[in-house]
Amino acid sequence: MKSKEKAKQAIFYSYTRYINGFAAVLEDEEAAEISKHPEVVSVSRNQISQLHTTNSWGFLGLERNGEIPADSMWLKARFGEDVIIGTLDTGVWPESESFNDDGMGPVPSKWKGYCDPNGGIKCNRKLIGARYFSKGYEAAETLDSSYHTARDYNGHGTHTLSTAGGRFVSGANLLGSAYGTAKGGSPNSRVASYKVCWPRCSDADVLAGYEAAIHDGVDILSVSLGSGQEEYITDGIAIGAFLATERGILVVAAAGNEGPDPGVVGNVAPWILTVACSTISRDFTSNVILGNNKQYKGVSFNSNTQPAGKSYPLINSVDAKAANVSSNQAKYCSIGSLDPLKVKGKIVYCTCNEDPDIVEKSLVVAQAGGVGVILANQFITEQILPLAHFVPTSFVSADDGLSILTYVYGTKSPVAYISGATEVGTVAAPVMADFSSPGPNFITPEILKPDITAPGVNILAAFTGASGPADVPGDRRRVHFNFKSGTSMACPHVSGIAGLLKTIHPDWSPAAIKSAIMTTATTISNVRQPIANASLLEANPLNYGAGHVWPSRAMDPGLVYDLTTKDYVHFLCSIGYNSTQLSLFIGKPYICQPHNNGLLDFNYPSITVPNLSSKATLSRTLKNVGTPSLYRVNIRAPGGISVKVEPRSLKFDKINEEKMFKVTLEAKKGFKSNDYVFGEITWSDGKHHVRSPVVVKKMAVAA
């Protein structure tokens, strides 16, 4: 730049503690000039990330029928006592009962954090830190100064923080549905909120949040946001996560909500624990009963139910359109599309399109005087999620919607009744959420992503007091708890579990905690069938990684695949970053060593060979974290691939002892598939079962 003064004016963040860099407002030419400097690793745009949204803990086995069994991981981990969990998110609603500090002891002495009082924020012995970072967002957008606070006006951050570490709160519910006791994964943890999303989240603010969290002394960082697959040394989330991992902090991040199309998984850096989203064994039904006594199952969180047995006139929204609006607008119950004279006192049939504001349709009907809504899902393959509607509403499938319309137009005076919401146990769970972002990982296909799946559909957790549960303009309702769905909700489940593991095993590295969670996961549902995708077909590791998290097994995995900062730097060498870049990146001299099999030998808890020509051999190293034992291998080979493991047994005589094994994969004669195929390798001593998914894709051969 032309002068030091101009440079000072341009810089709005200087990262000096753990990240050697700065954030500034620059012209393209200035950024290009800076990138040429020999001591600059990379220059990247201030990328914007998106946010990714209580019987889940019972579903995970930490409690049974509302009681905590003697073998619960909660008891063994003292409910995550004094572990510190931080979130990078939209802030916190500190008045929530989920953050009360009743009975908690002094704040751990290692805590160096700060509670910013702006916006009336008050911390306590539970919520021990609250800070905000907005300069990156404000470099491009205007933000009213009244929002300069860690207070959560969105609800996303409060929900994720309480899911990871909220206290036990009895009587939690949403508008009368799902009464129970809310709690987080590590209820006795200390929690800290780093507000970096407004609600969009800029890399500059995210990195500032990371720096603060590392300095303050968090043990686990939960990051329910992301921006897709980015190069590691230009991705703010990946850079911050690397520096946190280097200092012993496990970073857990959401896989993203861009599914079901393949290859859209985000947060793919190997030092991040990437979480996909799946269902729990609970749903909420709200049925439609027509005048001909036919009944159709729908879903909703209806609180204001219609009088039992009383039916109301039923009209298709197209026939209730207001003057000067199109039939298409009325079909989707868009704002201002309905005529109150035609709607008053009636149940309105509306069709759902790609508009994400589904709840808004019930608000449109309510404002026009309607008494109920039947929402029909236009997209046959999509899962239907219950939402907090403004009038009694039932969300039905595409096929059932067509049947209801047939009744409407085949009956002189069609009527209907919408039942209240009923909580039911689903037949099979988990099922992968259709929006959960699947692999493969296109940045480094040799690293399977996502890593794990966890509950993230219909999750009840604490909410902000600043906005309504429907998140639409005009929603003046206020609730203490809200249901949300997304990989954002799955992520803090794993963060809470990681907090428990950190309490039980305070000396474990982030990679060891990650390995324990992955190698003990299950791929079988509660009805002893393989986990299914949203279409109820068998899912695979590209959907769920190693499988569904199983907390009680994770606390005693037997063996782990461990990794150090040096291993991660070597990994970066293997994918093409040079010694100069990496020396600047890690802040000390580093020379990349040549390695013929670098990526395949990376000691990851899963095994992926994305371009198998004919034969490949790779190695892994296991560390004993249990009692002395003899482990034998069991192989389930992917279709069309032969798998050989040497040696077939590993004997461990002491804690932290390490043993290496080799895996040879070879395409069988005549195997021509160019699709991914899946298998697994499991090491077992009879008590522990250390399982790694094996994912192989044969190299395409030109015709």
Place of tokens 């019930």: 362
| CA dist., res. 472 & res. 475, Å (int) | 6
Query: Which uninterrupted H or E stretch holds 361?
Result: helix 359-367
Considering 189, 281, 300, 488, which one is annotated as catalytic?
A: 488
C-beta contacts of 21-28 below 8 A and 24+ residues apart? 21/207, 23/135, 23/136, 23/139, 23/203, 23/204, 23/207, 23/208, 25/139
Angle of helix 487-504 relative to helix 510-519, nearest 10 degrees? 110
Pairing assessment for the beta strands 641-646 and 658-667 based on DSSP bridges: antiparallel
Question: Given CA atoms 594, 600, 601, 603 in this order, what sign does their dihedral have?
Answer: positive
Contacts of 689 (CB under 8 A, 6+ apart): 520, 553, 558, 682, 683
Exactly one of 52, 72, 89, 189 is catalytic; name it.
Answer: 89
Among residues 661, 166, 71, which one has the least CA distance to residue 461? 166
Residue 445's SS3 state is coil
653 class by beta-carbon count within 10 Å (0-12 exposed, 13-18 middle, 19+ buried): exposed
In angstroms, the CA 470 to CA 476 distance is 10
Owner of token pair 């063994």: 76
* Contact partners, residue 307, CB within 8 Å, separation at least 6: none
**Encoded amino acid at 518, one letter:** M
Residues with Cβ within 8 Å of 6's Cβ and at least 6 positions away in sequence, in order, are none
Helices then strands, each counted (H, E), the chain = 18, 34
Three-state SS string across 307-341, please?
CCCCCEEEEEHHHHECCCCCHHHHHCCCCCCECHH
**Is 89 assigned a catalytic role?**
yes
DSSP 229: S
Task: Determine whether 488 is an active site residue.
Answer: yes
Which position among 156, 493, 505, 548 bears the catalytic label? 156
Cβ atoms of 314 and 346 within 8 Å: the answer is yes
- The 10 Å Cβ neighbour count of residue 389 is 29
| Whole-angstrom distance, CA of residue 587 vs CA of residue 574 | 19
Instruction: State the number of CA atoms in the 13 A half-sphere of 552 facing the CB.
Output: 14
Query: Is omega for the bond preceding 647 within 30 degrees of 0, making it cis?
Result: yes
Within its chain, how far is the Cα of 672 from the centroid? 35
Q: Please give the structure tokens belonging to residue 92.
A: 């916190």
Closest CA to 314 of 208, 392, 219: 392
In three-state secondary structure terms, 504 is helix
Cβ pair 520, 550 in contact under 8 A: yes
- Helix (H) or strand (E) holding 291, with range, is none
Number of Cβ within 10 Å of residue 597's Cβ equals 12
- 25 C-beta neighbours (distance < 10 Å), count: 14
* Closest to 334 measured CA to CA, from 315, 314, 316, 360: 360
Positions marked active-site: 89, 156, 488
